[in-house]
Amino acid sequence: MASSTRDVQLILEGLVSFASQGLQEIDLQENFCVIQKLGDGGYGSVLMVQDKKTDQKMALKLLDRNKTTEFAFLMEFSKSFFLSSHPNIIGSYGTAFKTWDCFAFAQELPIGDLCSLITPHDGLPEDTVKRCAVQISSALEFIDSKGLVHLDIKPENILIFDEDCHCIKNTDFGLSCIKGTMAKNRIGTVSYMAPEISQVTDKDCLLLASLLVSGLKVVWSFGIVLYGLFTVEFPWYSAVFTNKTYSSFLEWQCHFENIEPPSPWSRFPPTVLKMFSGLLAIDCSKRHKSCEVLMFLEEYWQGQIIVI
C-alpha cells in the first residue's frame, strides 16, 4: 500500500517513464481488425478490436492527439495499469501505442456498462443492486488504499461482464487524482458531484480548500449511483442550494429525526434511508466510507428477501 502522496507520485512517474520508452507509432488497421465502436467521449472513443497476430479480442481506448498530451495519456494508462490487479477494476494488458491521430491502450473486453442494463422505467432488482454495491465499494476501497481517488464514478464508468452483475469493474481513470492533492478545477459529472464541489465557483475564495481531493467526495457519487440503479433517475440535477429537490433533501438531513423524508426518498425503508444518509452526508467529515454499505446487506432495501 502506498504510504504517502509522494510515494504514489514516484510510482506513477516511474510507470510513465517506463511506458514512454516503449511507446511506438503503429498503423491501427495493419495490427488490429476493428469489430465495432463501443463508445464515444469528449477526448476519444473505445473500440472492440481483434489482434491480427494473436486473434485475441480486446477493448482499445483511443485518445485524440489533438485533445490530450502524451504525458496525460501515459498518466491515465499508468494509473489504469497500477490499479488493474483488483477484480473489480478493468484489467489492463500493458499495451500502449500511438497512431498518426490518437494514443491508444488495450483493456479487457466487457459486454457493456451498467447503463445498458437499465430500462427507461425500471431500476435493477434489489439483489443486483446489492451485488453492484459490494463490488463498487471494494474497488473504491482498493483505489483509496493505493493513494488515488477516482472522481468520476457513474454507471457509464462501471463495466459489466454478465447481465446479472456477478462481475462488474470500474474503468476510466482519466480524471483520477492522487489523494490529498489539490484539484485545479471542478472534476467529474455534475449530477454526481458532492455539494462541496458543485457549490464552489472558479472565483470562490474557498475554492482550493473545497477541492482538496479525498475519497469522501467519491462516496457521495457512489450514493447517487445506488439511488439511480433503483429509481432510474437522479435525485437532483446538481447539489446546489438553488435546486429545490436538493434543498428539500438538505432540510431533511438537518432535521433527520424530526421530519419525514421528501417524496423521492420516501420509497425507501428506514434502514436504507439511514444508509443513504451516511453516504450522502452534507458535512463531508461525517460521510461514511463506501465499505459501510456492507452493514446493510441483510436489510430489505425494497421490502423483499434477498439472496446474494
Catalytic residues, by residue number, are 152
SS3 string of 216-275? HHHHHHHHHHHHHHHHCCCCCCCCCCCCHHHHHHHHHHHCCCCCCCCCCCCCCCHHHHHH
Cα separation, 102 vs 209, in Å, equals 35
- Ranges of beta strands (E only) in 65-190 are 92-98, 102-107, 112-113, 148-149, 158-160, 168-170, 177-178
Quote the CA–CA distance of 136 and 142 in Å, as a whole number: 10
73, containing H or E segment: helix 70-83
Q: What is the CA radius of gyration of the chain?
A: 20
b/e 199-210 (16+ beta carbons within 10 angstroms → b): bbeeeeeebeeb
Angle at which helices 126-145 and 215-231 cross, to 10°: 170
Closest CA to 151 of 214, 205, 203: 214
Question: How wide is the angle at C-alpha 134 spanned by C-alphas 307 and 256, nearest 5°?
Answer: 95
β-strand partners of 46: 39, 61
Any known ligand binding at 79?
no
According to DSSP, residue 288 is labeled P
Cα dist from 138 to 24, 53, 82, 238, 285, whole Å = 35, 35, 16, 26, 21
The binding site for ATP consists of 61
The binding site consists of 61
